[in-house]
Amino acid sequence: MKDLAVYSSFLLAFCLVSAAEPVSFTRGDSREELAARVANMQVRMRAESMDAVFLTAEANIRYFTGFSSSFFLSPTRPWYIIVPASGLPTAVVPTIGEDAFARAYTGRVITWPSPRVHDEGISELLSVFSELPRVSGRIGAELGSETTVRMRIIDFDRFRSKLNEQGMQMVDASDAILRARLVKSETEMARMHAACRAMSAGYRKIPETITEGMTEVEACNAIKRLFLSMGADDTLYVICRAGPISYSDIIGHPTQRRLQLGDVMVLDTGCQVDGYFCDFNRNFAIGPPAKEVNDTYAKLYAATDAALQIIKPGMKFQDIYRVMAESMEVSPSGGVGRMGHSVGLQLTEWPSIHPDVTESLAAGMVLSVEPSLGIPSGEGRYVVTEEVVVVTETGYRLLSERAPHHIAVVHAVASASRSEL
């Protein structure tokens, strides 16, 4: 039952409608790739004197074991993975996952019949840790930046106390985990490329998909179908918000407000292919946009160009922020708080493109470059643009099809026909 035949090794020639060339990608994580990820993590663990790392979060479990499921949406059952200092990960999981974890990159798979409210696998977990080869007694866990522990805190507290009683100490492994995930492999990049291709092809068709008079809810529904038809596996993150002159919210769900002449709409979408996200946005105007919006967009476009020019190994995340802020002549602050981020198994990943982030770029990192700027007439309205790039050995390669120089205009069909009456 240890072969990953079902999950892996299918090379797809993935043809997207009107895309220049197909993106080939392998679906599922090969045992070789998973072994390399775990080995890389184990090097980091040795450097930080960790005897094991304890994982509970969806993205981390996927990354190190290949277990891929939407079932994390159900809050009832926790899933525990222990990555030892050497050897295969151990899974301590509900019986319902036995079949799936038997095919994942794991050694032992220990199960309990969850839900078992009085003991959701904590006994099994403690038993694994009691047999763990002990050197430092330091157990890494998801305690820090951009991570959360996906289990009951009452259980986590008890588990942590029991480890302490047995001479083990829980320490933060978030830095090691996030660094392990930061540089993407060729197969990871190919999936993100496929996701970006699907979104680029979809964005090209937006002007013929949405019309004045549609509600944001209707537009959002049509756009999700469009992205799926272009090859996205999932449309978990599709923001569709509009407002007169421009929008003031870029994170809310769509509303029943109808798209009107004079609106500018932001579509900010994170589609997935085989679990990997692509995250970039596009702006659409219902009828010609206001001059101040065009001017703001032009500044953002130039700022992105300035960012792209400096992206290469050795530059820092803060440098990308700085050149964009300088290009737009703004001080490093504002509502959004950053101008981009890494992307991968999660919609946004560490680190941020932020003035405080001194981390250096390296080949294989995938970044969303996302400058934003308030418009002169204010009232909380702004414009955001976004592109996705891979850092290469010598510079960058765009995964998103570069946004048009000017905001795309959706023809105001309803008002046109009104004026004809």
Name the minimum Å distance from CB 204 to a second copy. 18
Name the minimum Å distance from CB 60 to a second copy. 11
What are the residues facing 281 on neighbouring strands?
Answer: 268
Task: Give me the half-sphere count of Cα atoms (radius 13 Å) on the Cβ side of residue 99.
Answer: 3
Cis peptide before 289 (omega within 30 of 0): no
User: Is residue 221 within 8 Å of residue 235, measured between CB atoms?
Assistant: no
Report the residue number, 249 or 295, with the smaller CB distance to a second copy.
Answer: 249
Report the residue number, 72 or 397, with the smaller CB distance to a second copy.
Answer: 72
Residue owning tokens 């599922």:
28
Residue 139's alpha-carbon distances to 40, 47, 73, 160, 258, in angstroms, are 17, 13, 27, 10, 53
Compute the distance between CA of residue 318 and CA of residue 323 in angstroms, rounded to an integer: 9
* Both tokens assigned to 20: 């220049």
User: Is residue 106 within 8 Å of residue 62, measured between CB atoms?
Assistant: no
What are the residues facing 54 on neighbouring strands?
Answer: 82, 141
* Both tokens assigned to 15: 């043809």
Compute the distance between CA of residue 122 and CA of residue 112 in angstroms, rounded to an integer: 10
Q: Is 365 helix (H, G, I), strand (E, B) or coil?
A: coil
- What is the Cα 390 distance to its own chain's centre? 14
Report the residue number, 248 or 260, with the smaller CB distance to a second copy.
Answer: 248
Task: Give me the half-sphere count of Cα atoms (radius 13 Å) on the Cβ side of residue 189.
Answer: 19
Report the residue number, 31 or 152, with the smaller CB distance to a second copy.
Answer: 152
Name the minimum Å distance from CB 395 to a second copy. 26
Name the minimum Å distance from CB 159 to a second copy. 12
Report the residue number, 238 or 390, with the smaller CB distance to a second copy.
Answer: 238
Phi and psi torsions of 250, nearest 5°: -120, 15
Name the minimum Å distance from CB 274 to a second copy. 8
Compute the distance between CA of residue 156 and CA of residue 154 in angstroms, rounded to an integer: 5
Phi and psi torsions of 311, nearest 5°: -70, 115
Report the residue number, 35 or 102, with the smaller CB distance to a second copy.
Answer: 102
Name the minimum Å distance from CB 390 to a second copy. 20
Name the minimum Å distance from CB 255 to a second copy. 5
The one-letter code for the residue type at 180 is A
User: Is residue 265 within 8 Å of residue 247, measured between CB atoms?
Assistant: yes
The residue among 52, 126, 137, 123 whose CA lies nearest residue 87 is 52
Name the minimum Å distance from CB 319 to a second copy. 17
Task: Give me the half-sphere count of Cα atoms (radius 13 Å) on the Cβ side of residue 76.
Answer: 9
Report the residue number, 132 or 238, with the smaller CB distance to a second copy.
Answer: 238
Compute the distance between CA of residue 340 and CA of residue 319 in angstroms, rounded to an integer: 12
The sign of the dihedral angle between the CA atoms of 403, 407, 411, 414 is positive
